[in-house]
Chains A and B, each alone.
Chain A
Amino acid sequence: KNEVEQSPQNLTAQEGEFITINCSYSVGISALHWLQQHPGGGIVSLFMLSSGKKKHGRLIATINIQEKHSSLHITASHPRDSAVYICAVRYRSYGGSQGNLIFGKGTKLSVKP
């Protein structure tokens, strides 16, 4: 069982719709990342958060540490938002070294004009 679960796997929306992508994880983490992979393959880091909420333009990421859950929201979606959105968590590590990132399987978003 993958330790990071994303939902939905696929999402089709009309331009202008409000989008929510969810990510759940299983144990304590030190950080959670949201990544965007463009149709061309390039990966961009959107957010890194360990608590609360972050906003950048039309993108909002929230995390609830108690519920082990994070959401990525896109307001006023646009066809150029079409991409795969990947959640990744860094579990708390031991011995002082950095924990490695565990990735979700991604959510493929298509926004239709």
Chain B
Amino acid sequence: DTAVSQTPKYLVTQMGNDKSIKCEQNLGHDTMYWYKQDSKKFLKIMFSYNNKELIINETVPNRFSPKSPDKAHLNLHINSLELGDSAVYFCASSQSLRGQTHSGANVLTFGAGSRLTVL
């Protein structure tokens, strides 16, 4: 019943490996996001997809590749993992203003986070 679910919750891996984090939302939202929270707890947007289309791609290494097979899913694949990729990655979703049907539009719902540790 979780509204935004991410898997895995914890991921420990070696440098150089490739890993994926999956995100699914059952809220019917049309926009999904990936955020990175660093060791200082600072949140930063990485990507945003609206109806499967990439609309925000912040300065993120191209080792990070988001994939949105449909508007309910936004997965994050990371190639050649580096120590600096260790962080908590949060997925979130919202309903865009263009698709607004109620006052809750554009309110973010977050997943529980995926803690990635690169050794």
Interface set of A (CB-CB < 8 Å, partner B): 31, 33, 35, 37, 41-45, 48, 84, 86, 88, 90, 97-98, 100-103, 105-106
Q: Contacting B55 at CB < 8 Å: which of A43, A48, A97, A106?
A: A97
A31 touches B56 (CB 8 A): no
**Helix, strand, loop or mixed for chain B's interface?**
strand
Which residues on B sit within 8 Å (CB–CB) of A45?
A: 107-110
**Helix, strand, loop or mixed for chain A's interface?**
strand
**A58, B19: Cα distance in complex, Å:** 42
A41 touches B50 (CB 8 A): no
Tell me the nearest residue of chain A to B90, going by C-beta: A43
The count of A-to-B residue pairs whose CB atoms sit within 8 angstroms is 53
B41 touches A106 (CB 8 A): yes
**A101, B45: Cα distance in complex, Å:** 7
**Which of A31, A44, A98 gathers most chain B CB within 10 Å?**
A98
B110 touches A103 (CB 8 A): no
For chain B residues 75-101, which have a beta carbon within 8 Å of chain A? 88, 90, 92, 96-97
